[in-house]
Amino acid sequence: MAPKIYINGKLYDKSEAKISVYDHGLLYGDGVFEGIRVYDGKIFRLKEHVDRIFESARAIKLEIPLSKDQLIDAIRKTVEANDKKNGYIRPLVTRGSGSLGLDPRKTSDPQVIIIVDDITMYPPELYENGMELATVSTIRNHPNAVNPRIKSLNYLNNILAKIESIQAGCLEALMLNHKGEVAECSGDNVFIVSKGVLMTPPTDAGILEGITRNAVMELAIGAGIPVRELSMTRHDLYIADECFLTGTAAEVIAVVKCDGRVIGNGKPGPITRQLREGFQKLVRS
């Protein structure tokens, strides 16, 4: 069955889902989005995702023409219309169509779009054996330029990092911030385990505060694992006992090598496995 795409209150077949070529989301990447998962027919942390898209919109002075409750209802109805029990939801809001100029005052009619489809981030064997990262030269956006806490349609920063990692033979890029500290990957948050303590960069390190990141931190605290948000360098990854990534699409995936250095014993570690299993139970509970 072809996906049904929601655009401004109506459902369209994928081939008929269209917006103006003058939309500033297309012309300038002017808009915001979220990635959400549905597991066994249940949408994971929908309220948190909707809160975040509204925060992103406020940060770029974009008025979403729906209330939070209306957007939640639209997402649920789009999932139902697609009969999708397990999949990926992409709600996005563009600035709307306008002229060939940057002035957002010359745009009108913001487009609210909801896509429900499948997504596969990494091959299954990487979840079993772990993956490799490469540090890239493309730094994460400076918070005073385009703040990484805004999940905007302008993803060129992440894409440039992804291109570099692929050229280095890795599927994911480790991105540093403007201070040379570890920020995040091109699409995932980063965690390490050292001496039994779970550590991850804080939001002021230039990261997106991931919904999955927060869920995993809650799981760790509930399991009695000490959790710290603190600045770290690549050195901390190189000497860590374990490393893993989190993200809506990626979920929880181990990292066993970074920049050619083997992390820990080169296999997914016990805390990584524990938190991955805990996350799988959480999303289906």
Annotated catalytic residues are: 151
Question: Three-class SS of residue 12?
Answer: strand
Q: Round to whole Å and give the CA distance between 129 and 253.
A: 9
Record the tokens describing residue 79, joined without a space.
């999932």
Q: Which tokens sit at 235?
A: 């050195």
Give the closest residue to 233 by CA, choosing from 90, 164, 159, 135: 135
Maximum Cα–Cα distance across the chain: 57
Q: Under a CB-based contact definition with an 8 Å cutoff, are residues 198 and 220 in contact?
A: yes
Instruction: Tell me how far apart the terminal alpha carbons of the chain are, to the nearest angstrom.
Output: 28
Q: Taking each helix axis from N to C terminus, what angle separates 46-59 and 68-81, rounded to the nearest 10 degrees?
A: 130
- Please name which of 197, 253, 260 lies closest in space to residue 234, comparing C-alpha atoms: 260
- Location of structure tokens 């730094």: 139
Running DSSP on this structure, what letter comes out for residue 3?
A: P
Pairing of strands 131-135, 261-262: unpaired
Task: Give me the DSSP letters along 109-173.
Answer: SPPEEEEEE----S-HHHHHH-EEEEE-SSPPPPTTTS-TTS-BS--HHHHHHHHHHHHTT-SEE
